[in-house]
Structures are given as C-alpha cells and as structure tokens.
Chain A
Amino acid sequence: MSSPSAESTVGGRTAGNTFAGDVWVNFKRWNLKAVRNPFVLVVSLAQPFIFLVLFTEVFGNVAGGAVSRGLPGVDYTTFLVPAIAIQVALASAVTSGIGLVNDIENGMFEKVLVSPMNRTAVFVGKTAAEVFRIAVQIAIILGLGVLLGAELATGVVGAAGIIAVGIVFSMWFIAFSNVLAVLTRDQESTIIGANLLQLPLLFLSSAFLPLAALPGWIQTFARLNPVTYGVDAARAIMVDEDVMTVLDVTAFDGALNTIVPAVAALVGLGVAFGAVAVSLLSRASSSDVR
C-alpha cells in the first residue's frame, strides 16, 4: 500500500493523502459548514424540543395514564425523551441529502471528483460529520429532558447508549436522504420528500404513546416502521426495561430483550438502504458514460 510510488511527486509537489487524511479533510469541511449554518443546527433541534415541551404539557396527564398502565412508575416525560432523541436523529439525517444536493448544485461535488481524494473517504468523512452532529444534538436533548424531569435509569452509560442507538437508527435515513438527493438532484424535492415522511413515521410508531393505546391499523404499521425499533431501543435503555411490544423476544435479560432485536433490525435496515445509496453515489461519481 505505502510503496514509495504512493508518495510520487507530480510537478515537483508531494501529492496524495492517506485514506484517513482524506476522511479528516472532509469531516472538517462538513463540520465547518454546520457551524457556519447555526440556523440549520437550531432548527433541527427546535422542532423536537418544541414537541418535547408541548407534548409533556398538553398530553402529559392524559398520556401518563396509558404509559403507566404498560410501564408502572414511568412518567410521560421519561417516556417521551427517547422518542424525541430519535426524532432529532430523523430531522438531522435529512440534512445529509440536502448537503449532497447543495454540493452538486454549487459544483463542489465535481470539484471533489477531479481531486485526487479517495472517493469513499470523501463520503465517509461527510457522513462522519453528520453522525457527529446527531450525537451532539441527542446529548443536548437528553440534557434538556433531564432538566425537564425525565429519569435516565441507566445514567451516563445509558446516555451514551441512547446516543449510539440514535446513530445506528440515523443510518437508514441518512442513506435514504442521499438516495433522494441523487435521484432528484434538487434541493427542494429532497427537503420536501424527506420532511413529508417524518411526521407520519413518528406518529405511526411507539414514539408518542404506547402501541396498546393506539388503533389496530397503527399497530400493524408500527411493526414495520423503523422508528418503532429506534424508539423502543432508546426507551429500553432510558427505563432499563423490556419495552418492546412489536416483537416478543425473551432470549436475553431485561432491557436487552428490546435492545438486541431492535438494534439488529436497524443495522439490517441501515445496510440495505446504505447499499442502495452507495451504489447510486458511486454511479453518480463514476466516469462511465451511461
């Protein structure tokens, strides 16, 4: 790999980064762009935060009963915080595709393609920056949730676990928003396409109420909805109990009966969507004329 020729000089210059170097260069660029756009950062946090406050205030009393029937001793704020964490991951993942469309529109996509950077490293760096932002945002939501009275049964380790679940969950939606971006190559279509899905996905899942309290058709849909698995895994860590109702797994211990199958489902989904996104991205950046 690192034969002398890898450091070959062209035009008298040392040229060529390592794979990790290329990842880092792109990671830095996308973080810089995120910081330059505090508006996007704030908006993707604001809506989930508003949900958190409004839902607990408006539905807290009503929903609290439904929650405590299934999970005795758990209040609605504690029930809701993991769902909001997943909502943040969902809202933030959309910006991945939007960033790609913007790059295609302002020519940076092509500029990167003519550079000697490794193309896989380019996308890994960009995605890493987005995942990093999701982690920070979930951490903020967890902090706010605790301030609002939510109880995190598993403490700091649990918080890290919820962030990890959020990241695993975000993969399929990051991939999905990139697929939209490559297919539409249009900023507005990507935003609308991804945002339109967000609310139905959230409401038709176990996010805001226990599934037992919802109509049968929603329960059926929720079983197929990735949000259910993300929320259930995060919630299992939050309350340290087996909260999953769509699958009945008993092979593990307590909360793991939710976490293991949910994370497995999310990983599978992430790989499936990721494969589609990777193949579309490599077609979009390939030099083959189609």
Chain B
Amino acid sequence: MSNDQSASAPGSRRERTRSSSADPPDDASIDIDGLELIYGDGTAAVRRVDMRVAEGEFFGFLGPNGAGKTTTIKVLATLLSPTAGEVRVNGFDVRTAPRDVRKSIGYMAQETSIDPELTAEENVRFACEAYGVPRGERDERTAELLDLVDLASVADKRSEEFSGGMKKRLDAATALVHRPPLVFLDEPTTGLDPQARNRLWEYFERLNERGTTIFLTTQYLEEADRLCERLAVILDGEIVADGSPADLKRQVGGDVLDIELQGDGDTSGRAVAIARDFEAFDDATVEETDAGISVTAETARQSGTDLLVALRDAGVIVTGFNIRAPTLDDVFLAITGERVDTDGEPAEVPS
C-alpha cells in the first residue's frame, strides 16, 4: 500500500467524511462529478454523469441497452478508470484508492460469476478469504449467507449442477461476505423465472433494511418500481431523468388510455389523427401501438369514453380499451422513445 493510500484511509469511512472539509457534508455512498468514459476506439460510453447516492438508499439505474449503465457500474467498482471526472465510492476516490473502494463494496456482475467446479460452500468460503474475513468468523459467515440465499441444503453440491436462479443467489451471497455498506447489482434477475426473481427481491429488500446501500441496474421496470426509492435514467451516456418512481410517473403527464382497434396501420393512423384533434385532451401524447393507439393525458379518465365515441362516429372499430395509471414503462418510453424489451436476452456488455 502506498503512502498516498494510507494517508487517505484513516480508520472508518464515517470518521473520514467528518474529518475532511473537501467531502460532501452528508453521507454519500456514491458521489460522481462529471464522469466521462471514452473507450480506446473513441466510443463515448459515458458523456457526462453527475450523480449522488445517499447512504442506505435503494437506488435504481435504468436505461436502454448500451446506454452506459454497465460502464458506469464498472467505473464505480474500479474495473474501469474514468476518462474524466471525480468518482468517490464510500468516500474513497476510485482512481487513487481503488483497493479501499474494493474492500468497501460488494459487486454482482451482470453475468453470473461463480466457480462451477467448487461447491456452494467453497465458493462462499473463497470469497470470505479473498475479502479477508477473519478466520474465526468464516464458518459462521458462510453458513449464515448460504442460509440467507436458501442454499444451505445444497452447500456441499458443486455449483455447476445448480439452476440459473440458484447460481445467481450463490453469486449474490459471495458479494456479501464482507458485509459491505454498498452493493452493486448489475441486472441481478435477468433471465430468471418469476419465482426466482421474487425470492431475490426479498433478499435485496432484507439487505437494504439492514442498512446496506444498493445500486441496482435492471431491464425490468417492474423490479425498479417495486424495489427502488430513487431512480436515474441514463440515455446515450447522460442522465436524463432522476427522481422517485412516483415523481417520474407524474412527469409522464396523466393517465394512459390504451385502445385496441380493428384494421391495419391505416386505421391506427386515422385514429391517431382523431385523438390529436380531440378537444378534451389539449396536452395529450398520442402514439401508435401494435394493437391500436395509446393516449396519455391528464383527463384520460374523465374524457376517455368521449374519445371512444368519437372514434366510433368516425367509423373506426374499437375492439378493446383500458385506462390505467402510468407505469415506469410509460416513463421509459416517454424519456427514451424505446419500449423496454422485458423478455429479451441479457443486455450486451459494451466492450
């Protein structure tokens, strides 16, 4: 360890935050100021990101594939060095004190990372040793974590025999051996069945209740909605929205009226024109969907039926409709212009 590092790491993080005037006044787990990351081939994966995550927060990081989510998380986990900007994790600079950052975070990569030749128990034990968990506590810690992720009964089985969900849970356990105050979860539930996903959600919630800050990226907006207190949306390497799920939904501007139509694109086109001219919806957003059209407006609930009548009068046949509160999917669509492909493949890793 260099003198530099030892000088910047006196005792615990809390002491440090208080002792230095250069630090943010409150306890920030993550403090990103002007982060830029440009790959060797000139691709700007992250253009300019400023972001704070408070201690104890359950934070969600959303964005379409290739928007810069994984790149940002890799910078925070010291796997990539920022091209520009200042990044502090648990009070430590990722550039000058990477080892202190590594000691203080848990990281669960997008791709499940376990040693398939070792048993569940050996995987967790290796992580204990890698993170310097004191010898006397390893047995207990290993047992406790395997219990937490419901793998105690298969502790002595080789992990290559596990299902995808079990492997993910084991991976999560190995990221927690040193009881890190901050955990990164990069698409932790991608590719899992709903039951396995629900189980992982419960673990993450329990973890967060114990005071752990969680930084989550996900393709599933339902997941973000259920788990996260605060969200940020990244698009083309820049943060384009930030707030609680409820805040973001409010920004969509009203309720959503989905209308299914009989006929082809022509019909939908006519319906879109009618909805746009519809007087009761002066602030409406109207879009064509696969089944018909979708109208978002403050007065969607009150005046929705009038629009249906207007459509019928114009000879457009309505085969179904639904009025609902906006979801994060609508938020995402409004912000990024893209629907999230929730049943798709794991996101591509920019490299």
Interface residues, chain A, with chain B CB atoms under 8 Å away: 1, 3, 5-6, 8-17, 21-22, 25, 28-29, 32-33, 36-37, 106-108, 110-117, 287-290
**B315 CB within 8 Å of chain A:** no
Chain B 90-111, CB within 8 Å of chain A: the 1/0 string?
1000000011101111010101
Interface of B is mostly: loop
Q: A8-B9, A11-B104, A116-B103 are in contact. Are A29 and B126 (CB under 8 A)?
A: yes
Flag the segment in B32-40, B304-312, B317-325 that touches A.
Answer: B32-40
How far apart are A17's CB and chain B's nearest CB, in angstroms?
Answer: 5
Question: A36 contacts which of B6, B9, B112, B118 (Cβ < 8 Å)?
Answer: B118
**B174 CB within 8 Å of chain A:** yes
Interface size class of B (residues with CB under 8 A): 35 or more
Residue of chain A at shortest CB distance from B92: A10
Q: A3-B6, A33-B115 are in contact. Are A110 and B109 (CB under 8 A)?
A: yes
In the bound complex, residues from chain A placing their C-beta under 8 Å from that of B126 are 25, 29
Question: Contact between A287 and B102 (Cβ–Cβ < 8 Å)?
Answer: no
How far apart are B11's CB and chain A's nearest CB, in angstroms?
Answer: 6
In the bound complex, residues from chain A placing their C-beta under 8 Å from that of B129 are 17, 25, 28
How far apart are A234's CB and chain B's nearest CB, in angstroms?
Answer: 32
In angstroms, Cα B130 to Cα A90, docked, is 30
**B263 CB within 8 Å of chain A:** no
Interface residues, chain B, with chain A CB atoms under 8 Å away: 1, 5-7, 9-13, 37-40, 77-81, 83, 90, 98-100, 102-105, 107, 109, 111-118, 122, 126-127, 129-134, 158, 174, 178-181
In the bound complex, residues from chain A placing their C-beta under 8 Å from that of B118 are 29, 32-33, 36
Question: Contact between B179 and A106 (Cβ–Cβ < 8 Å)?
Answer: no
Question: Contact between A106 and B12 (Cβ–Cβ < 8 Å)?
Answer: no
Question: Contact between B114 and A289 (Cβ–Cβ < 8 Å)?
Answer: no
How far apart are B52's CB and chain A's nearest CB, in angstroms?
Answer: 19
In the bound complex, residues from chain A placing their C-beta under 8 Å from that of B105 are 114
Question: B181 contacts which of A11, A32, A115 (Cβ < 8 Å)?
Answer: A11
Question: Contact between A1 and B1 (Cβ–Cβ < 8 Å)?
Answer: yes
Question: Contact between A13 and B130 (Cβ–Cβ < 8 Å)?
Answer: no
In the bound complex, residues from chain B placing their C-beta under 8 Å from that of A106 are 113-116
Q: A110-B109, A112-B130 are in contact. Are A11 and B13 (CB under 8 A)?
A: yes
In the bound complex, residues from chain A placing their C-beta under 8 Å from that of B104 are 10-11, 15
